[in-house]
Amino acid sequence: MFDQFRDGIVLTNEKTGETLVCNQRSFSYMLFGILTHYLRWNPKRAEEKVTEYMLRVDPPTFYTALLDAHEETYHTAMLLAHGNGFVSEVPDDYDDWYDAFVEKHSLAENTCD
């Protein structure tokens, strides 16, 4: 799943020379995990929605990676599920769930560094 995306993509801001390392595959898995765990979406629906979203920003640019890094991954997943204007609080157990999910699936800790 999400094999078309990869981690460790180095992106450079052409104007400043600043670089970001984008972990696109890990970000995809995190969105999938949030949709299936917190919203109880079935895996097929979640995978399709995440893939559709990721393909819109593929290949990632410095700017799109910066936007994704700026937003909480949970918030991005809620936007995928509900659209713009949906306000959601991050669940109390989110940090613990996030850490366990990252470890279980051998994902990068951060979507962008």
pLDDT tens profile 66-109: 776 657 889 989 999 999 888 789 999 999 999 999 999 999 99
Rg (CA), the chain: 14
Buried b (16+ CB within 10 A) or exposed e, 47-58: bebbbebbeebe
Total domains in the fold of the chain: 1
Is the model's pTM score more than 0.85? yes
Mean pLDDT for 55-59 is 78
Q: Give domain status of residue 112, yes or no.
A: no
Q: Give domain status of residue 26, yes or no.
A: yes
Q: Give domain status of residue 47, yes or no.
A: yes
Query: Could you list the residue range(s) of the whole structural domain that residue 74 is in?
Result: 17-105
